[in-house]
Structure 1
Amino acid sequence: MCQGDDPTCSEFERHRLDFRTGMAKERRAFLKSGFAASGGAAALATTGISLVSPALAQVSAARAPGEPRMHVLPANAETVHWGYFSRTLQPRVEVESGDYVTIETLTHHANDDADRMVKGDPGAESVFLWTREKKGVMRRGAGPGDGGGLGVHICTGPVAVRGAEPGDVLEVRILDVMPRPCANPEYKGLAFGSNAAANWGFHYKDLLTGDKPREVVTIYEVDARGDRNWARAVYNFKWVPVTDPTGKVHPTIDYPGLPVDHTKTQRNHGVLKNIRVPIRPHFGTMGLAPKEADFVNSIPPSYTGGNIDNWRIGKGATMYYPVAVPGALLSVGDPHASQGDSELCGTAIECSLTGTFQLILHKRADLGGTPLESLDFPMIETAEDWVMSGFSYPNYLADLGPDAQNEIFAKSSIDLAMRDAFRKMRGFLMHAKGLTEDEAISLMSIAVDFGITQVVDGNWGVHAIIKKNIFAGAAS
């Protein structure tokens, strides 16, 4: 049966939309029932596994105007912004608190193998269109003109939440994440992603063998139908100078969306033979528009989220973001099929995905006395864990002054990120869990796992994870 991967099917477009957005009848029924309905927050809170208390859940649900609606935001040249967050962007869709939205996202590395990740896909083709006369998306980055290559991530959105104001908190539940199936009939039922061991990777100046330095791209295959939960390497190739449609030569991967000409590369098949990489699809970049500047580079993460690059931001997780501008302006991008902590070589398996989310607005006036009362950073909640995201500079846009978007790339360190993660976890344990500072410090040393989130995004990250079941005694 066609699942949006057979262009010869008479209903190809309908099947493709159903598959990519997850809005088939059975998924509709799920999203409208049980956990996913507007009372879901209250149900979670009652079991003690959510930061949202029953009282806060009820207040937030009461503020919603009626039954939640469902929205779909496709990814194409009209709905994406490339390489930046901006408080000046017009929303691509506006939702009420409690509504659901399915958002398509495209990897900015799709042109590493356009046959597998762009060809035949109208949305991707419109975004990656680049001829001497025209770009599908002109502005790429946070700088003037076409952005100067400062930012790299293709972000779909923004989504405005009606009534959101600075000081509020936006809860984003990730209900589903699916690979975007390849539209090329040669690769029916598959999806693909790219891992670039790039010049911004932590490894780049510490190579042992071969040409030094070098950039190597590995293309991975994923089962788009969900029948297997692992990816495999298809081939790799060493980056060769790419001449873009304007005639400019790029010796390294220095500009997003460069079209690789594979007549000039040497593909090495059989790499990572017999190795199955567990997939954990997630969104490397997801967050709200900051207030500090009109255009903000998508690479360094900050207090409103953005390029956190934590693989835990996937299906079943909930994100909490402080709202900085009216409408919140949520954007989603940088989709990954899998990634390890640190994102060592500079990228994950960069693979286009589609996510379904529920957005719940918590007003500042309702937050007093709750764990969300003073939230001023992005926080991750999973079924088992609470995760604090520490950065070298918690709000680098404010911390580093008028040239912050340049200075951040020279001033990051793991030491600073570790200090921030420690402070955030200490504050959480003291204010949300009622521990004294001495109790919090002891508990952190014996029960909190600190890990390196990423060392490649300008504003480096360390995460702190605490298990929810540590607090099970409070309910007994």
Structure 2
Amino acid sequence: MDGVPADNFEILQPITQTPGALSGETAAGRYYVPATVNTSRWGHLPNRQAEPVLTVPSGATVVIDTISHEGILEDQGRDPVAWFGEHGVAREQVLSDAIALTDSDIKHDFKHDGPHVVTGPVAVADAEPGDVLKVEVLDLAPRVPYGVVSNRHGKGALPGEYPITPAQDGASAEHPERYGNVSIYTPIKETDDGWVGLMSGPNDAPVEFPLNPFMGLMGVAPNTDESPSSVPPLAVGGNADINELGEAATIYYPVKVPGALFYTGDGHFAQGDGEVALTALEGSMRATFRLTLLEAGSPEIPGGQINRMLGETDTHWVTVGLDPSLDEAMKDATRESIRFLHDYYGIDQATALAYLSVATDFEVSQVVDATKGVHGLIRKDDFAAVTAED
């Protein structure tokens, strides 16, 4: 399945900006953050000391470009032109942003740093600890007509069993084959039934699956001077990998530092619950968000308080549990779901637990990011007759 089947796919290069766009609005009336060496960090999340690349007022619409780490990492040679070229991708089909990043002096330690390229952070004016940042996902557009799925030694749901290819001594960007890791190049294309990904089956028969884009990594800065790895998800977001939080979803984040400092990255074109190989179908994404500040005590805060990220779709509330143990993550998600039902709908805890047992699906977000994730899907229609607590 080498080659790029999407003949008419327009590579989304940076938006044309008006002068000073990083401190003001673009010509289209929206704020824009390009993915450059100066607006990106590789392997770590912003902390409370991070300088914002842009400050916007509450309610602003912000377009943020992201660079996928897949195709640029050291076990792929840290050379996207060469790596994608091996799969039939012409240089003009490789993002100039990715080329600039890998050609730069930006430091990245494959062994100790997270893999993700993070764009941001964006500060929201007047945001203070105790507030909540409401993030609406307005649009997600693939920037390239291909993605990559990777399985790496010591990672994924089956470490020690996969990859089958053994690792060798002396692995480096100069000798990426010695890592023994496996990356599956996966084109995407548009069909009459929507966008699909393509993998090779027997005799090159295509295996097609639908795309469901979302950002694997979104969040606000934690209140720490340390440089958090981009790998484990946090109560304030990060690498949560929840596939329900795509276009039209809303996520509420507890603000821990002045300005909130929102960031994103790790575009996923498609991901099954669990993300068992290690990665989803990952690719560079252009994401459009609306960032709205909800001050502490605002009646718009679901349940009156948010102490960890909370998702919302048209049909469900999405509660999140996190822990290095999958069993404990399940317990954490259950406790958070009980708390939410009690605070938002006024339901007593015993009834909340009984309801969750009969009517709520708890899904494994991912089992591959050191901190495991489980999320509950609480159906809104079940509470149509219940008045939400103010």
Is the shorter-chain TM-score for this pair beyond 0.5, marking a shared fold?
A: yes
Query: Given that residues 345 and 386 in structure 2 are in contact (C-alpha distance below 8 angstroms), is that contact kept between their aligned partners in structure 1?
Result: no
Higher helix share goes to which structure?
A: 1
Report the equivalent of 1:338: 270
Which residue of 132, 139, 143 maps to 1:176? 139
Residue ranges of structure 1 left out of the alignment (5+ in a row): 7-14, 22-67, 130-135, 141-145, 182-190, 236-268, 393-411
Distance (Å, rounded) in 2 between the aligned partners of 1:226 and 1:71: 33
Shift in CA distance, 293/148, structure 1 to aligned 2, threshold 3 Å: farther
Report the equivalent of 1:438: 350
1:196 counterpart = 2:127? no
Which residue of 110, 116, 121 maps to 2:71? 110
Matched residue type, 2:39: T
RCO (CA 8 Å, sep 6+): is it higher in 1 or 2? 2
Matches within 5 A, 1:240-251: none
Query: Given that residues 148 and 281 in structure 2 are in contact (C-alpha distance below 8 angstroms), is that contact kept between their aligned partners in structure 1?
Result: yes
Report the equivalent of 1:121: 95
1:366 counterpart = 2:298? yes
- Cα deviation digits, residues 149-188 of structure 1 (max 9, x gap): 322110111101010111100000000001003xxxxxxx
Matches within 5 A, 1:437-476: 437-474=349-386
Shift in CA distance, 225/101, structure 1 to aligned 2, threshold 3 Å: farther
Which residue of 308, 317, 341 maps to 1:429? 341
Distance (Å, rounded) in 2 between the aligned partners of 1:451 and 1:310: 9
Shift in CA distance, 98/228, structure 1 to aligned 2, threshold 3 Å: same
Query: Given that residues 66 and 118 in structure 2 are in contact (C-alpha distance below 8 angstroms), is that contact kept between their aligned partners in structure 1?
Result: yes
Distance (Å, rounded) in 1 between the aligned partners of 2:91 and 2:208: 24
Number of residue pairs aligned between Structure 1 and Structure 2: 344
Query: Given that residues 82 and 137 in structure 1 are in contact (C-alpha distance below 8 angstroms), is that contact kept between their aligned partners in structure 2?
Result: no
Distance (Å, rounded) in 1 between the aligned partners of 2:194 and 2:301: 41
Runs of 4+ in 1 over 4 A off after TM superposition: 15-18, 117-120, 209-214, 224-227
Query: Given that residues 129 and 255 in structure 2 are in contact (C-alpha distance below 8 angstroms), is that contact kept between their aligned partners in structure 1?
Result: yes
Residue ranges of structure 2 left out of the alignment (5+ in a row): 1-6, 18-27, 77-82, 168-179
Normalising to structure 1: TM-score of the pair?
Answer: 0.67
Query: Given that residues 13 and 95 in structure 2 are in contact (C-alpha distance below 8 angstroms), is that contact kept between their aligned partners in structure 1?
Result: no
Distance (Å, rounded) in 2 between the aligned partners of 1:429 and 1:322: 18
Matched residue type, 1:216: V
Pairwise CA distance, 1:110: 2.5
Query: Given that residues 165 and 323 in structure 1 are in contact (C-alpha distance below 8 angstroms), is that contact kept between their aligned partners in structure 2?
Result: yes
Distance (Å, rounded) in 1 between the aligned partners of 2:221 and 2:310: 16
Shift in CA distance, 227/3, structure 1 to aligned 2, threshold 3 Å: farther
Distance (Å, rounded) in 1 between the aligned partners of 2:276 and 2:124: 35
- Cα deviation digits, residues 392-418 of structure 1 (max 9, x gap): 1xxxxxxxxxxxxxxxxxxx2111101
Pairwise CA distance, 1:297: 0.7
1:98 counterpart = 2:30? no
1:205 counterpart = 2:160? yes
Larger Rg: 1
Matched residue type, 1:167: G
Secondary structure of the 2:308 match is coil
| Percent sequence identity over aligned pairs | 33
Distance (Å, rounded) in 2 between the aligned partners of 1:196 and 1:372: 39
Normalising to structure 2: TM-score of the pair?
Answer: 0.81
Matched residue type, 1:95: V
1:85 counterpart = 2:51? no
Pairwise CA distance, 1:121: 2.7
Query: Given that residues 304 and 343 in structure 2 are in contact (C-alpha distance below 8 angstroms), is that contact kept between their aligned partners in structure 1?
Result: no
Pairwise CA distance, 1:444: 0.5
Report the equivalent of 1:418: 330
Query: Given that residues 318 and 377 in structure 2 are in contact (C-alpha distance below 8 angstroms), is that contact kept between their aligned partners in structure 1?
Result: yes
